Amino acid sequence: MSWNHFPYFALVAVLLWATGAYAAWKNKKTLTLSATVAGLLVFFSFIVAMWISLERPPLRTMGETRLWYSLFLPFAGLVVYLRWRYKWILSFSTILATVFIMVNVLKPEIHNKTLMPALQSPWFAPHVIVYMFAYALLGAATVMAIYLLFIKKTPCTADEMDITDNLVYVGLSFMTLGMLMGAFWAKEAWGHYWAWDPKETWAAVTWFAYLCYVHFRRSRPYNLRPALYMLIVSFLLLQMCWWGINYLPAAQGTSVHTYNLS
């Protein structure tokens, strides 16, 4: 399996996800579930094939992490749909996943078998996968915030805020778990749990931003618009933590986390 095969798998997956999203609008639950799951399986089969071909987890480069993010977004949308019957969430998650897929199609990265010693750790795969799942859930929460702030014409309901809050709670929990795994990985690879590396600093900033949202919602449950804006700002910080840090001068040549650029 090579990166040249990716557009074919991606096209089939996106078409299946789009079918599931359309079926959700038509209240066809069985078709929604079967089409979305089929798309997830097609996309995941490419990831597994790449894993076998590379003889390592496809988690090293930004392109590889985008694969997992594109996989988890429709999965998060499906969970929200099945739990709360929100019809539009699958459409938004499919569009967002398609954007990340198109970035990978238009700007493919070199996926070689080289894995630096620091990445040859049992903590590597679970740390990144858990983080990508957290990012997908928090991305879904951001989609909810954008919808409620700028698209929905009527005031937010308690159920809608409940969906948003639960996505943040679960996403923040997985982010916390990912940070703990990263600390154990850092201890094994570099001899310390935390060193305030630029990547680690932005990870802490992002974690505290979402924690502030949680505390704000608990202390001021009826002050909705500021909370939703906090989610958007937190997601922007998350993007800086995920990939923006690689382009900051402070990280060039000093951060131990810039290995995913090549």
The Cα–Cα gap between 103 and 166 comes to 29
DSSP 202-229: HHHHHHHHHHHHHHHHHH-TT-HHHHHH
Say if residue 252's pLDDT is above 70: no
Q: Which of 126, 123, 141 is nearest to 209 (CA)?
A: 141
Q: Which of 242, 133, 118 is nearest to 185 (CA)?
A: 118
Between the CA of residue 215 and those of 143, 156, 227, what are the distances in Å?
A: 20, 19, 10
pLDDT interval class at 260 (50, 70, 90): very low
pLDDT interval class at 261 (50, 70, 90): very low
Query: Could you give the percent of the chain with pLDDT greater than 90?
Result: 60
Contact 113, 43 (CB under 8 A): no
Average pLDDT taken over every residue of the chain: 89
Structure tokens at 128: 């990144």
pLDDT in tens, 146-205: 999 999 888 988 889 999 999 999 999 999 999 999 999 888 877 888 888 888 889 999
pTM as predicted: 0.86
Residue range 69-95: mean pLDDT, rounded:
91
Place of tokens 């989610």: 231
Question: In the prediction, which pLDDT does 85 show?
Answer: 84
Say if residue 56's pLDDT is above 90: no
Question: In the prediction, which pLDDT does 38 show?
Answer: 98
The Cα–Cα gap between 52 and 56 comes to 7
Residue range 224-247: mean pLDDT, rounded:
91
